[in-house]
Each structure stands twice: as C-alpha cells, then as structure tokens.
Structure 1
Amino acid sequence: MNRADAPPFPFSLGLAGALSLACFMGFGRFSFTPILPGMMADLGLSAGDAGLIAAANFAGYLAGAFLAAGTWAQGMERRIVMAALTLTAALLGAMALVSSLSAFMAIRFLAGLASAFGLVFTSALVLSAARGDARVQAMHFGGVGFGIALSAFVSFVAVPLLGAEPPHWRSEWLAGAGLVLAAGAAILFLLPKGQGTAGRGGAEPPMLWTGAMLRLILSYAFFGFGYVVAGTFLVVMAREGASGHSVEFLCWLISGLAGMVSLFLWQPMLSTRGVNTTYRLALALEALGSVAMVLLPAAIAPVIGGLLFGGTFIVVTAYALQIGRALSPESPRRVMALMTAGFGIGQIVGPVAAGHLVDLTGDYLLASLIAAAVLGLGALVAPGRGSH
C-alpha cells in the first residue's frame, strides 16, 4: 500500500488515548517524581520514606491491574474511565492536604488503583477502535511521556510563576488535579463510545508455558525493579547533586519528551531487527542510563539519565507485552496478568530497596548501579529472536 492509499490517521482517537494516559500515568503516577524533592525538604522525609510512598502507589497499580483483568467490566469501560479520571484528580488534590507518611501511602495506593483502571480500560477502548493502526498505538502510549513533560512544566515553571509561596509542593499537587479535571472534559468528548476488548470472549484457554515465556516474565520483573530508581528519584538526584534548578527541570522535561516520541523513534529498529532484539536493546540502554545518572558529571548526568530513561521505558513495556502475546496468542489476558504480577513485584521492591540503600550509604551510587545490573540481567535473560 502506497502513501496515497493509506487510510486517514484517526487523530482524535489517538488524542483521546494520549490525553487519558497523560492524566492517569503522567500525572496520576509519575508527577510524584518532580514533586518529591520539595516534599522531602519541607517535611523531612528520608529516601526510605519516599521509597515506601512510591511502593504503595505501585502496590495499588498491581492490585488494580488484576482487578481490571476480569470480565466484570464488559460494556462499562467508558464509565469506568471517567470515574477513574475523577478519582485521580481528587487524589492528586488530597496529596496537598496531608503531611503524614501513612496518609501519603494510603492516597498513593488508591491513586495506583485508579491509574491501573484508567490504563487498562482506556487502552481497551482506544486500541480496539484503532483496529491495529500503529500510529494510534504510538500516539496513545506517547501520552505517558506528554504527561511527564507537562508535569515538569507545572512543577518548575507554572507554579513558581503563578506566585505560589514556597514550599511549592502542595500547589504542584493542586495544579495537577486541576489539569486532570480540565483534560477530563476533552476526554469525555473524544473517548470512543463503543465497547472495548476487555471482557470479551469468556474464559481463555490455559497459557502456554514455555522456556521463552518464563524468561520473558523474569526479564520483565527485573525491568520493574530497575526502572523505578530513575522513575522515583531522578529529580531528587539532580537536586542533591547541586545541579541547579534548570537541570532539575530539563532532566524531567527531556524524560517526558523522549517518552512521547520513543515508539516512533524505535520503529525502524523494530522493522529491521524484530521485537525481541529491540526489547533487549532498550533494556540495555536503560541500564546505561542508570549508570550515567551517577557516574557522569553532575551538570549533565540527570539530563543524559533522563533521556535514556524516557526513551526506553515505554518501549520496553509495549514490546514486552507484544512478545508475551506472540508466545501465547490465545491467552492474552492471562499473559498480561502474569507479566504484570512479575513487573509489579519488581517495582514494589525496587523503590523500597533503593530508598533504604540511600539511607545507609548517603548517596544514590550503589542503588543506581544495582538497578543498572538488574536491568542488564533482564536484557540477558530475555528470550531472543526465534525463541519459543
């Protein structure tokens, strides 16, 4: 098919997915990262405390992913998405109103639930309506990066310019809540009204257990452990490295911008080398980013680390799930549930372990190097081309 014969790009469909994931993931999940340094400074939170708050969010996400994988929601996907958007905005606002570790953990656990429901059911609606259009898929998942980039602008530019009194972190949470509510109006108009793929088809056959599947689940669990060190502490590392306000802003902004375009940029590699090789290379580059964050000069380390983090983590997720579906095509929900379980355990343990290591050693060197080693191990154990 030549370019003239290609079907028109359903931009509004991709925009619905992008805005939704910007809210659920970019703000509901990842805006914690640029806000965290201010919370730590104002409230005296340790790296271990921050790791516990992050782990609570990831535990909520894991629970939500399992709940969303059932058949109970058939026909209700759109209503669930809008309810989850409203809950996400409320929980972002609630973070500005409390100060205790236990309250932060409870709110972030519920936010994780809302993020998982939003991701699963928005993806069911948008990707089903897209009918395999890779452009919609790339735009949809690129919304995570857009949300991250926008959260950088909110935390480092908009809130200070609006005259909020320091510390700014409470205003940053409230600004995020307002943006999610505003985006919700557009999402309500754009989101497809049809039924998603979630919940169709009744019970799936048992998953095909192969050596390649076991290696993929293990690799994806290692990814869950390794990526959250950057995903949680990148901006804190920039601040504690005395890199300056502009570097803190740039490292998170670049992470988001790289995430926005990552699936488009990796497409040539995917076309020429295949999904397995591309997945392994993305893991290896993310490991390199974890090393860069602690071994390069402080003025550039967070920026390079943020670029490699943003340019790979969405790619790793998308391609891992693609490999899993190919290994057991008749059981996509079971595959996603088991892969999510492995990933979820990794990303819950990761920030807790990293936070305690930072408290013990006084810096992020050992935690980042361990994260890099685990990511590298994930690349090594991942199934190669032609695995079955």
Structure 2
Amino acid sequence: MGVGRFAFTPFLPLMEADNAITASGGAAVATANYAGYLAGAVALSIRPTINTRGHLRMWAVALVASEALMAVADGVVVLSVLRFVAGVASAVIFVGCVSTVAHARRHGASSAVTFAGVGAGIAISGVLTLVAGPHLSWQQLWIGAAIITALALAPISTMRIHPEPDSVSAGDAAILDRTHHSAWRLLLAAYFLEGLGYIVIGTFLVAAVSGNSGSATSSAGPVVWIVVGLTAVPAGVIWTRVSSRIGAHRALGVALVVQAVAALLPAVSSSTAAALVAAALFGGTFIGIVSVAMSVGAALPVARTAAILTAVYGVGQVLGPVVVTPVLGSSYTLAFVIATVVLLLAALAAFGVARTMPRRRELVGV
C-alpha cells in the first residue's frame, strides 16, 4: 500500500517535466486518489461484511493493475480514474489490515509494527525514483512500482481477514454517554483536519523541493521522500512509547503540533535543509497519528471505528488539494501555510479529546 498509494508523489515532478501533467492537473489526479480512498472507507463503514479475504485479494490485483496502466494512460481524466481505483484499493487493504491486527492483539500483534510497512513502502518508492529516475522514464517507473507492489502484496493471499464488528456490546452501549459522544466528535474533527492538512504536505512537498532545486531530475525530491518513508517506519513504535508516558489522547495532540511544524518549515524556507527537517517531522508523525487515533477510537464504545475514522480522514484528503489549488502558482508557500493552520486546529481538537475522555477509558498504549 505504501508504494501503490504514495508513488505518485515522487513521480509527479518527472511527469510534470515531461509535460504529461501540470501542477493543477497533478492536484486533480491526487484528489481522485483520495476520493477513491474515501469511497472505499465509506463502503466498508456501511457494510463491514465486505471486509473479507476475497475482496482484499481482488483489490490488491486492482491496485497493481492501476499502477501498471499509469504507464500507458494519457490525460488527466484517465489518470484520475486509475488513481481513484488505487484509492479504493488502499482503503480496503488498510481497513482489512487494521481490523485483522486489532483482532490479533491478544496474540501479540502490534498495529505500530504493521503501520511501519506503509513507511517502508514510501521509502522504497523514493529509492526507486532516486536510483532509476535518471535512467528510466516516468512510465517505466510506474511499471517498476507495480512489480514491487505485486511482490509486497503476494503474502496477503493467505491472510485471514477479521472484519470489525458492526455493533457494540450491550455493556459498551450502556456507557455511551454524553462525555463519550463529545470525545468521539472531537476525535472525528481532529482526524478529519489531519486528513486535510497532512495530504497537502504529502502531495506537494517533493514537488516544492524539486521546483526549488530548479530541476525535476534533481535528487533532492526523492531524497526528501526517502526521509519521509524512513522516519515513518519507526514512528508507530515511537508514538506508542510516548502514549505510554502521557496517554494516547495527549500524544495525538502533541504529534499534530509537531506535524504543523513540518508544514510550516517549507513555507518559511526554501532550503533543502528545511525540507529535510520537514520530511523527518512529517514522516515521524503521520503514521504515528494514524496508529494513535485508531487506538483512541477503539477505546470508545463505538462500532466500526476504524472504517468510520478512515472515511472521515478520506473526506479531509479529498478536500485538501481542492482547498489549496486556488493558491498554487509559482510556489507552494500559501498551501503549506494553510496546512499549518489546519493542523494546529486538529491539535486543539485532539487536546479536547484528552480533556473529555472519561478516565475509566483512559488509554495509555497503542
């Protein structure tokens, strides 16, 4: 999923340099991917019974096919359709893995370790761009990404999927009081704003760095994306430890503040050093935020929290590029400023979760 969903980011500058797509066209294609992610998450939240091994296999094949077809696609509409399919597939794979790992926690399964795979996939897509980008066309890079995704997804053909329950127990339903409702609404708000803010960084950071370097074939962009992936690998484990010290609800707010700094840095400085620090802070938080938010949601007496949170996140992702597209011009500065403000608002909502969460449901780990 890390490769299949996020490879578009490091490939985008090369596609722009070849006049295959414009900056606004890239935003439209990215939005289609996020719309697909939203559609998949909504479908799973409405009908959790479709979260099965068969559906996971089907959408795994669709993800690989969508990447391979990017190599022969022409025009924003066709590219958008393919990325929409990749988005749906990503949501199905994500929710399937999250619900299965949650079911297996009593056997020692760790969501933090599972989410590390997304960071590894991001890093691999960056390495592919850095190493092969100067020698291959962007079309050939998409073929390479499809092959890598297929190899990485092959093991899921044997994995048994455990869908989320579509209702809460009678005991949990009895304690779903006003306080829990407040915490749940604030968590939804925080996660929606995270989806809106983080996607601006995830979509445009590499393009901004490549533009500042003066060449789409510069190594600066891929290196920044590799840093994002490498720092995302241990992020889940790191934020789990932070959660054990200060509580997962507070850790969520802290992580969002750190991510806001990551968004601000490329807005105030065009240097490669600032971009690298931003990449490290971004990679070190966005997977951790997902992991912690999922655990906070699981602590509430609400059914299908993973699917619902993923759907809300998807709405934010769809709106993110749309919100900043009008300010995209010769630079991405205003887009990053908007992302900073949005992420700070998300942090405020997350700290609100910490204040309203009943102590008996206080979560200290992930």
TM-score by length of 1: 0.83
The question of 1:367 aligning with 2:335 is answered yes
Q: Deviations over 1:69-101 (max 9, x none)?
A: 324336xx2222222211111000011111200
Aligned-residue offset at 1:243 = 6.9
* Cα pair 1:50 1:355 within 8 Å, conserved: no
Q: Is the 8 A contact 2:195 2:315 kept in 1?
A: yes
Whole-Å separation in 2 of the counterparts to 1:386 and 1:352:
32
Corresponding position of 2:127: 153
Letter in 1 for 2:261: L
**Distance in structure 2 (CA, Å) of the matches to 1:149 and 1:82:** 24
Name 2:362's counterpart in structure 1.
none
Cα distance between partner residues in 2 of 1:336 and 1:187: 20
Tell me if the contact between 1:255 and 1:306 (Cα under 8 Å) persists in the aligned partners: yes
1:201 and 1:346 mapped to 2: Cα distance?
25
Shift of 1:263: 1.3
- Partner in structure 1 of residue 303 of structure 2: 332
User: Separation in 1 of the partners of 2:168 and 2:250?
Assistant: 33
Amino acid of the structure 1 residue aligned with 2:356: S
State the SS of the aligned residue for 2:74: coil
**Paired residue for 2:28, among 31, 36, 52?**
52
**2:87 maps to what in 1?**
112
Provide structure 2 residue ranges, at least 5 long, that are not aligned to the other structure: 358-366
Contact 1:293-1:304 at 8 Å conserved across structures: no
Runs of 4+ in 1 over 4 A off after TM superposition: 199-209
Deviation at 1:45, TM superposition (A): 2.9
Aligned to 2:238: 265
Please give the root-mean-square deviation of Cα atoms over the aligned residues, in Å. 2.3
CA apart distance, 1:129:
3.1
1:293 is aligned, of 245, 262, 266, to 266
Residue 62 in 1 paired to residue 38 in 2? yes
> 1:72 and 2:45 equivalent?
no
The reply to whether residue 196 of structure 1 matches residue 162 of structure 2 is: yes
Q: Is this contact kept in 2: 1:80–1:118, CA < 8 A?
A: no
Q: Which runs of 5+ in 1 are unaligned?
A: 1-23
What letter corresponds to residue 72 of structure 1 in structure 2?
T
Q: Secondary structure at the match of 2:272?
A: coil
Do the aligned partners of residues 234 and 123 (structure 1) sit closer, same or farther apart at CA in structure 2, a change above 3 Å counting? same
Counterpart CA distance in 2 for 1:132 and 1:379 is 33
Q: Is the 8 A contact 1:247 1:299 kept in 2?
A: yes
Match of 1:169 among 132, 138, 146: 138
CA distance in 2, matches of 1:202, 1:219: 23
Q: What amino acid maps onto 2:235 in structure 1?
A: S
The equivalent residue for 1:235 is 206
Instruction: Say whether the 8 Å CA contact 1:358–1:364 is kept in structure 2.
Output: yes
Return the offset for 1:344.
2.0
User: What residue number does 1:140 align with?
Assistant: 114
TM-aligned CA distance change 1:117 to 1:312, over 3 Å: same
Following superposition, the deviation at residue 29 of structure 1 comes to 1.1
Check if 1:347 corresponds to 2:317.
Answer: yes
Displacement of 1:232: 0.4
- The alpha-carbon deviation at position 174 of structure 1 amounts to 0.6
1:94 aligns with 2:65: no
Do 1:49 and 1:355's aligned partners in 2 also have CA atoms closer than 8 Å?
no
Q: Is 1:253 equivalent to 2:226 in the alignment?
A: yes
User: Normalising to structure 2: TM-score of the pair?
Assistant: 0.88
Amino acid at match of 2:23: A
Aligned residues: 348
Q: What is the aligned counterpart of 1:85 among 60, 65, 68? A: 60
**1:341, CA displacement in angstroms?**
3.6
What do residues 157-210 of structure 1 show as CA deviations (whole Å, max 9, x unaligned)?
A: 1354xx43xxx211111101111222233443xx434x5143566999697662
> Relative to 1, partners in 2 of residues 1:322 and 1:183: Cα closer, same or farther, differing over 3 Å?
closer
Note if 1:180 corresponds to 2:154: no
CA contact (8 A) 1:89 1:177 kept: yes
**In the alignment, is residue 218 of structure 1 matched against residue 189 of structure 2?**
yes
Between the aligned partners of 1:251 and 1:368, the Cα distance in structure 2 is 16
- Paired residue secondary structure (1:45): coil
1:129–1:192 Cα contact (<8 Å) kept? no
In structure 2, how many angstroms separate the alpha carbons of the residues matched to 1:155 and 1:246? 9
CA distance in 1, matches of 2:72, 2:57: 24
Return the alpha-carbon distance in structure 1 between the equivalents of residues 102 and 307 of structure 2. 18
Task: Give, in angstroms, the shift of residue 119 of structure 1.
Answer: 1.2
> For the Cα contact (< 8 Å) 2:122–2:225, is it kept in 1?
yes
Counterpart amino acid of 1:380?
A: L
2:191–2:309 contact (8 Å) kept in structure 1: yes
**CA contact under 8 A between 1:280 and 1:380: conserved in structure 2?**
yes
Superposed CA offset, 1:116-136 (max 9, x none)? 1111123333442342636x3
Quote the sequence identity (%): 32
Cα distance in 2 for partners of 1:319, 1:149 equals 22
